[in-house]
Structure formats: C-alpha cells, structure tokens
C-alpha cells in the first residue's frame, strides 16, 4: 500500500514526470512520506546526507549558520524542487541546513538505497543524472547571479 502511494507521489513530481513505471517502482522502494512542522530543521550542516527530499508542498529555506548572528538564508526551495545533493557526492555530508519555512510535505529517498539501486541498475543512475542535472544547473546559474550582488549598485 505504502509502495503504491509513494510511487504515485513521485510520479506527480516534476522531477520524475518522465520516469517509466519500472524505474518509479525501483525508487519508490527507497521512499517514505514525511511531514515537517513550520520552523523545524529537515537536515543540518555536517549531518550524514542519508536522504534526499522531494518537496511536494511547502517552502524550505537553505541556511548557512554563522556564529554570533542569525543563520543566513541563501535559497528558498518550493514545491517541485529537490532538497539535498550531498547524498550524491562523497563524503555524503550535508553542506547547509534545511529548515521548513512553512509546513512541508516531502518524499524522502534513502540515499544508501538509491545509490545501491543505481549500482545494480546503471540505467536508473543515468536517468537520474539526465533529469536531475537540469534542476541543479538552474540552481547553480541562479546562485551565480546572486553572487553578483546585482542590486547593490543598481
């Protein structure tokens, strides 16, 4: 029952919209439906990046903690985004905090499980690469613009 519903939730998400049934079945086996209350921490910088969150509803702030001052929000993720990339890259540690700005519903995918399935089914790994890379590219491009501090002088 749970597998079926996770698969449906994934199929509804823009990142997975082009995945076929078989691939969704593979991924759904690694998934769990999760809810986070407004203000709660989803993951913390330095934590083991053991999950990736497929945001179904709500807003997530990506924060960098700074000593002696409030944490700085550097990016907001919303419905249709994916929170957490560190699970893909050794040493698999989160590089920022993620906090629920509103109530958040997400499907979390167990990183070990997904990596294991990618090893067993290289086609799955390639499909994840092909469909997720454009999302990551968009975010990197946006953050480059942010770095320019465009509005400071304009």
Contact positions toward other proteins, by CB under 8 A?
59, 61-63, 69-76, 78, 99, 101-102, 138-139, 141-142, 145-146, 148-154
Q: Are 95 and 74 in contact (CB under 8 A)?
A: no
Residue 30: closest CA among 112, 127, 132:
112
Residue 135 Cβ, how far from other proteins at the closest point, in Å? 11
In the bound state with other proteins, the residue whose beta carbon lies nearer, of 60 and 111, is 60
In the bound state with other proteins, the residue whose beta carbon lies nearer, of 1 and 66, is 66
Distance CA 18, CA 15 (A): 8
Q: 3-state DSSP call for residue 135?
A: helix
Q: For CA atoms 43, 47, 49, 50, give the dihedral sign.
A: negative
In the bound state with other proteins, the residue whose beta carbon lies nearer, of 116 and 134, is 134
Residue 16 Cβ, how far from other proteins at the closest point, in Å? 17
Residue 52 Cβ, how far from other proteins at the closest point, in Å? 20
Residue 63 Cβ, how far from other proteins at the closest point, in Å? 6
Residue reference for tokens 């749970």: 2
Residue reference for tokens 């702030």: 61
């Amino acid at each position: 029952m749970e597998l079926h519903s996770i698969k449906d939730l994934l199929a509804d998400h823009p990142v997975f919209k082009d995945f076929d049934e078989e691939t969704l079945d593979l991924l759904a086996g690694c998934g769990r439906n999760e809810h986070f209350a407004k203000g709660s921490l989803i993951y913390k910088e330095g934590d083991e990046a053991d999950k990736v969150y497929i945001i179904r509803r709500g807003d997530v702030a990506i924060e960098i903690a700074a000593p002696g001052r409030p944490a700085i929000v550097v990016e907001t993720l919303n419905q249709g985004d994916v929170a957490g990339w560190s699970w893909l890259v050794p040493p698999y540690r989160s590089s920022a905090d993620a906090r629920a700005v509103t109530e958040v519903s997400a499907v979390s995918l167990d990183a070990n499980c997904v990596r294991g399935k990618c090893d067993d089914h290289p086609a799955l790994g390639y499909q994840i690469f092909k469909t997720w890379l454009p999302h990551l590219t968009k975010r990197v491009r946006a953050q480059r613009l942010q770095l320019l501090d465009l509005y400071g002088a304009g």
